[in-house]
Amino acid sequence: MEKVQLARMYVDDVMRKGVLEVLESGQWIKGPRSKEFAARFAKFCGATAGVTCSNGSVALIAGLHLLGVGHGDEVIVPSHTYIASATAADLVGATPIFVEVGEDGTADPNSIRDAITDRTKAAVLVHLYGQPVKMEAISVVQDAGLGLIEDCAQAHGARINGRSIGSFGDIATFSFFPSKNMGVGGDGGMILTNREDLVEPMQMIVDHGRASKYENSMLGTNWRMSEMQAAVGIAQLEQLPGWVTRRQEIATRYLDAFSDLDWLELPVVRPEIEHAWHLFVVQVDERERFMGHLAEQGVASGIHYPIPCHRQPVYADHPQHAEGTLPYTERICERIVSIPIHPLHTEEEIKRVIKAVCSYR
Ligand SMILES: Cc1ncc(COP(=O)(O)O)c(C=O)c1O
């Protein structure tokens, strides 16, 4: 019996045709597909403009550059996220200042308020697991006059009060890493903005700051996406709304099936949001035993993420590195488990996940 996996890759004839057309056209980079993908994706998210790029990590670095973040600056970021949300700050010469998350897994507004100093220049707010951040968190950042980057790597298709994520910040960044809600057939990313003044620099920064063929008028590098990947992205974007709906249906099934399990803490879903359910993350005591049981039942599981950013070895010299600095984050990182939620899961697989979880105790 094949294990129910956390993620699956989707390939269809539209994608195959798109890739072949690019291959045979000879225009493998800097062609019409990247532009088309960026325009369509920006429209989908309600942003003024977008640019494709190599991955979600460089999208964050580019975003911080575009907001003028550099040496001596502080960038507020939740510690409970993928490491790339934090290291982007270091890579532009700034310091990440870590904040707590609330029960919904997104940055806690009070913790953000407390973290703001004279040196704070921007915040990276992460729509973790597909759950949009709280509007209050966005307001705290914006009211303080800080730059706001939405890290949307896990939240393609999520909404707050009907408005798409990726349209709230100065900059929004996305990842198309293969397991994300949609992909591009490899690594890939997107940068979006609603700020007219950032549109041109955003497009230039991923292509050596090029103003014309031989003229480079701002700092940039090669963070471009290939045309083949853009062709895959265009095809996958068509599927995205249906996939998100399917993820929501599966999540509803899980929430219903697990509602009576008093030993299992379910994800908190706030009423004003549409969750994109990139991950379905529960909390349990004795996580290893629970994961072992799921594996025996043919169900894969994962941990996103077992080590909070501030506790990572890379931050051994960071002032917040010590154990106990962010107690809530540290506690949940010991208890979280991601169970499979994917639009391509069959009915039999969904039932198997439910049975595996319910038979644990
Ligand atoms: C929250 C978050 N931010 C940033 C990234 C980095 O994206 P990429 O892997 O495309 O560089 C990821 C991807 O794993 C992520 O989950």
User: Is the Cβ atom of 187 under 6 angstroms away from ligand 1?
Assistant: yes
* CB distance 63 to ligand 1 below 6 Å: no
The yes-or-no verdict on residue 199 having pLDDT over 90 is yes
End-to-end CA distance of the chain: give it in Å, rounded.
Answer: 23
Q: Is 191 in the pocket of ligand 1 (CB under 6 A)?
A: no
Residues 218-242 as b or e (16 or more Cβ within 10 Å = b): eebeebbbbbbbbbbbbbbbebbee
121-129 average pLDDT score = 98
Cα dihedral angle (62, 274, 15, 347), rounded to 10 degrees?
A: 140
pLDDT digits (tens, 9 = 90+) for 340-358: 999 999 999 999 999 999 9
List the beta strands (DSSP E) in 65-214: 74-78, 95-99, 120-126, 147-151, 159-160, 163-164, 171-175, 189-193, 210-212
pLDDT category of residue 38 using cuts at 50, 70 and 90: very high
Ligand 1 pocket member 175 (CB < 6 A): yes
Would the CB of 123 count as within 6 Å of ligand 1? Answer: no
Is any atom of ligand 1 closer than 6 Å to the C-beta of 148?
no
pLDDT tens digits for range 281-295 = 999 999 999 999 999
Residue type for position 151:
D
Query: Mean pLDDT throughout 93-98?
Result: 98
**What domains does the chain contain, in order, with CATH numbers?**
13-234 (3.40.640.10), 240-358 (3.90.1150.10)
- Asked whether the predicted pLDDT for residue 32 surpasses 80, the reply is yes
> How would you label 276-298 residue by residue, b for 16+ Cβ within 10 Å and e otherwise?
bbbbbbbbbeebeebbebbeebe
In the chain, pLDDT over 70 holds for what percent of residues? 100
Q: Give me ligand 1 centre to Cα 57, in Å.
A: 6
The pLDDT tens digits for 212-228 are 999 999 999 999 999 99
- In this predicted model, what pLDDT tens digit does every residue of 235-264 receive, in sequence order? 999 999 999 999 999 999 999 999 999 999
Using the atom order of ligand 1, give the atom closest to the CA of residue 304.
Answer: 16
Tell me the per-residue pLDDT of 140-173, one tens digit each, with 9 for 90 and over.
999 999 999 999 999 999 999 999 999 999 999 9
For ligand 1, the distance from its centroid to the CA atom of residue 42, given in whole angstroms, is: 19
Task: Report pLDDT digits (tens) over 56-89.
Answer: 999 999 999 999 999 999 999 999 999 999 999 9
pLDDT of residue 203: 97
What is the Å distance from ligand 1's center to 24 Cα? 31
Confidence at 1, pLDDT banded by 50, 70, 90: confident
Q: Is the Cβ atom of 56 under 6 angstroms away from ligand 1? A: yes
Rg (CA), the chain: 20
